[in-house]
């Protein structure tokens, strides 16, 4: 039976063989780096936001990412339309509720998507996760005010209610489907010093989930891969600027063998 590292390596091989098309309705601030990250991994990105083409685009896609980073009424409408179509096509939908808990609009939009779309994975920071469960929980803009452990029980509860997988990213990442809990230990401090690290992580999760049947395992594999790329990039970076360039290079050059050996995780 394959262990976690071997499964992660197999998923990376499949991504580079199949080149899944990942449809992103995403953050305008980080759209370019997200697309570049997907290309570096081996997937194909498309950033189609117009409501009158999202359904057609999904007929060609392998997964859908909904990212609330730069939100508007038009963007929410497109997300709902795309999410419902993806659910009909049984494509995995990955939600990144950026800033949920910071404003009423963001929190309500995230909860509306969860209610009306079959969300396969939610990737968020601890405060965003808590805001989806506790209406009194707040975030500081798009930054977390809580630790991963603070949100663990809430994530397990929400995962069971939604029959989905939740990924809480922070100093050490946690993935749960409500029953299993996988902790990912890969990563580097400079990942929190660049714009778009969370958005890139969400898109990479979509690529891994699109080629695997074990969703929690695929999510954990994606985070281990992204965290390992951060570790490699951090070895030669002198600051956030060089780190960003080296991060894309690491996403491109990491081999399945590197991932199998370098993935650090705790599976109880």
Cα separation, 194 vs 187, in Å, equals 13
Return the pLDDT at 3: 86
Note the pTM of the prediction, 2 decimals: 0.94
Give the position of tokens 């980080």: 30
Based on the number of CB atoms within 10 Å of its own CB, is 161 exposed (0-12), middle (13-18) or buried (19 or more)?
A: exposed
- Average model confidence (pLDDT) for the chain? 93
Count of the separate structural domains present in the chain: 1
Cα separation, 163 vs 58, in Å, equals 23
Residue 150 pLDDT grade (very low, low, confident, very high; cuts 50, 70, 90):
confident
Based on the number of CB atoms within 10 Å of its own CB, is 13 exposed (0-12), middle (13-18) or buried (19 or more)?
A: middle
Alpha-helix runs per DSSP H in the chain: 4-18, 31-41, 54-58, 73-88, 104-116, 126-133, 148-162, 197-209, 215-236, 240-253, 256-262
Q: What is the SS3 assignment for 68? A: coil
Q: How many Cα atoms within 13 Å fall on the side-chain side of residue 199?
A: 25
Of residues 34, 43, 37, 45, the one with CA closest to residue 249: 37
* pLDDT, tens digit, 9 for 90 and up, residues 245-255: 999 999 999 99
CATH code, domain carrying 167: 3.40.1190.20
Q: Using alpha carbons only, give the angle 46, 48, 50 rounded to the nearest 5 degrees.
A: 175
pLDDT for residue 135 is more than 70:
no
259-243-144-132 Cα dihedral, nearest 10 degrees: -50
pLDDT for residue 87 is more than 80:
yes
Of residues 69, 116, 114, 73, the one with CA closest to residue 94: 114
Could you give the percent of the chain with pLDDT greater than 90?
A: 88
Question: What average pLDDT score do residues 137-161 get?
Answer: 71
Q: Which residues pair with 168 in a beta bridge?
A: 124, 174
Residue 136 belongs to domain spanning: 4-266
Which helix (H) or strand (E) segment holds residue 181: the answer is strand 181-184
Question: What average pLDDT score do residues 69-98 get?
Answer: 97
CB 215 within 8 A of CB 63: no
**C-alpha dist (Å) from residue 14 to 8, 65, 183, 218:** 10, 19, 23, 12
DSSP 207-254: HHHTT-S-HHHHHHHHHHHHHHHHHHHHHH-SSHHHHHHHHHHHHHH-
Residue 147 pLDDT grade (very low, low, confident, very high; cuts 50, 70, 90):
low
């Amino acid at each position: 039976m394959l262990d976690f590292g071997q499964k992660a390596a197999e998923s990376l091989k499949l991504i580079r063989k199949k080149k899944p098309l990942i449809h992103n309705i995403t953050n305008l601030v980080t759209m370019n780096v997200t697309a570049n990250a997907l290309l570096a991994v081996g997937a194909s990105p498309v950033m189609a936001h117009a409501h009158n083409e999202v359904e057609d685009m999904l007929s060609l896609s392998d997964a859908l990412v909904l990212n609330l980073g730069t939100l508007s009424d038009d963007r929410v409408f497109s997300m709902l339309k795309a999410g419902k179509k993806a659910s009909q096509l049984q494509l995995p939908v990955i939600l990144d509720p950026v800033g949920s808990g910071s404003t009423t609009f963001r929190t309500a939009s995230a909860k509306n998507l969860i209610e009306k779309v079959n969300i396969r994975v939610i990737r968020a920071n601890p405060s965003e996760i808590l805001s989806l469960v506790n209406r009194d929980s707040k975030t500081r803009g798009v930054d977390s005010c809580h630790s991963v452990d603070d949100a663990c029980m809430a994530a397990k509860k929400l995962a069971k209610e939604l029959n989905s997988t939740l990924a809480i990213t922070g100093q050490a990442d946690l993935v749960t489907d409500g029953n299993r809990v996988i902790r990912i230990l890969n990563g580097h401090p400079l990942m929190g010093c660049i714009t778009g690290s969370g958005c890139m992580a969400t898109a990479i999760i979509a690529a891994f989930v699109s080629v695997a049947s074990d969703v929690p395992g695929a999510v954990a594999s994606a985070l281990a891969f992204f965290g390992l790329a951060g570790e490699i990039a951090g070895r030669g970076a002198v600051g956030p600027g060089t780190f960003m360039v080296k991060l894309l290079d690491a996403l491109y050059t990491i081999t399945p063998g590197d991932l199998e050996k370098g993935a650090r995780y705790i599976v109880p």
